[in-house]
Structure 1
Amino acid sequence: MMCPPELQALHPTKAAPVIQDGNITLAESGAIVEYILTKYGGGKLALPPTSSDYADYLYFLHFANGYFQPALLRYGPVMRCGASSDDLAAKFTKRGFEQSLQILEDRVGKHPWLAGAEFTAADIMNVCSLTTMRVFYPYSLEAYPAIVAYLKRVSERVGFQTATEKGDPGFERPIGAEKPLYGQR
């Protein structure tokens, strides 16, 4: 809904993210990241199958799109509509959302990055849900100090700063623990 018409015209989803590479137009963040890593990455931001952290890398590479974002997108409207905490649907969606955050908290509480010792595409895939999406589905990270420390590490990376400025100039992503104000963009 917020994409300009020229972006909507690129792909049937009519939404971002979408990339064009020659005559190829590709949507879906996971597919885009895998395409770029495979075609142009030269082994950067990915772990090889021989790595002892390969399974963790794969899990967290797909965690955002496969578990965290669906949980957030189910729970976000429940948070906004003020459903009773006794409501079964509210309990179910809250549990999935909180599990997502706890999984991430546990992981980055033990490792500097989601795949282990190295910053990888797994980190890139999850940061949007922990930052940008918090503007539209505001939630606090006060109960998750390891995630807050992780986001500080991410935000200090030159690549994060460059991508943020290119992709959304002037937009301040929430990095701290506090709950952002809804729609503050």
Structure 2
Amino acid sequence: MIIVHYLNNSRAHRILWLLEELGLAYEVKTYQRGPDMRAPASLKAVHPLGKSPVIEDGGRIIAESGAIIEYLVETYGEGRGLKPAAGTDEALRYRYWLHYAEGSAMPLLLLKLLFLRLPGQLPFFLRPVASMIANGVQGKLVDPQLADHLAFWNSELSRDGWFAGSAFSAADIAMSFPVEAGMTRMKSMGDVSAVRRYLDAIRARPAYQQALEKGGQYDYATS
């Protein structure tokens, strides 16, 4: 049976969701964040970097969300419609968004989170200066780039409702966390109507809801 090492309130939700879409049996081992919001040290017994998600399957330890998604779709996804046919334009889009989710979107979102939390992590007398610096970096560097990405998502989703063509695919699962996190961290937005429709569509899927029930707390499900 597949074992999912699941950190609460994290991008690991996507892996449970994919497993539900595939109709696979799995076991969830849940880990709680510490006061510093990091994963507990016990995860290092599973993988040296102590990150989540990590899965175990047939003696294999597989880490990194994108790699896990690719592995599960290639190993168990035949006939499930979660990946476009090879050689098509949709297949190229699928590959792009699968890699974009962690390679382009997440670094910016992590920077945003870092600068949002930075002032509160410092001694009281340093917070005014830290807030000024953090707000300046966000306003001049991070937020304009995030706005570009959000507009890009909306434009792509306006084409046919999904990231890799007219059909739902694992690329939509991969992109769900960046989109949900991005929508919670951006204060001002332009036209996000297509993004909103996408969020409504993914959250209406039974597999998404089943993953929430099995994984527990996931604050981004209401962004």
The CA distance in 2 between the partners of 1:141 and 1:36, in whole Å, is: 36
Match of 1:64 among 101, 116, 125: 101
Could you tell me whether the CA contact under 8 Å between 1:75 and 1:90 is conserved in 2?
no
The residue correspondences of 1:7-156 to structure 2 (distance < 5 A) are 7-44=43-80, 45-80=82-117, 81=119, 82-83=131-132, 87=136, 90-131=139-180, 133=181, 138-140=185-187, 143=190, 144-156=192-204
Normalised to the residue count of structure 2, the TM-score between the two structures is 0.67
The CA distance in 1 between the partners of 2:42 and 2:58, in whole Å, is: 17
Shift of 1:95: 2.4
SS at match of 1:173: helix
Percent identity between the two aligned chains: 29
Shift of 1:99: 1.7
Structure with bigger helix share is: 2
Distance change (3 Å), C-alpha of 1:16 and 1:161: same
The CA distance in 2 between the partners of 1:86 and 1:166, in whole Å, is: 37
SS at match of 2:186: coil
Normalised to the residue count of structure 1, the TM-score between the two structures is 0.79
Shift of 1:4: 4.8
Distance change (3 Å), C-alpha of 1:118 and 1:49: same
Could you tell me whether the CA contact under 8 Å between 2:161 and 2:194 is conserved in 1?
no
Distance change (3 Å), C-alpha of 1:86 and 1:7: closer
- The one-letter code matched in structure 2 to 1:173 is Y
Structure with bigger strand share is: 2
The CA distance in 2 between the partners of 1:77 and 1:138, in whole Å, is: 11
The CA distance in 2 between the partners of 1:61 and 1:84, in whole Å, is: 33
Aligned length: 173
- The one-letter code matched in structure 1 to 2:67 is A
- The one-letter code matched in structure 2 to 1:13 is L
Could you tell me whether the CA contact under 8 Å between 1:78 and 1:90 is conserved in 2?
no
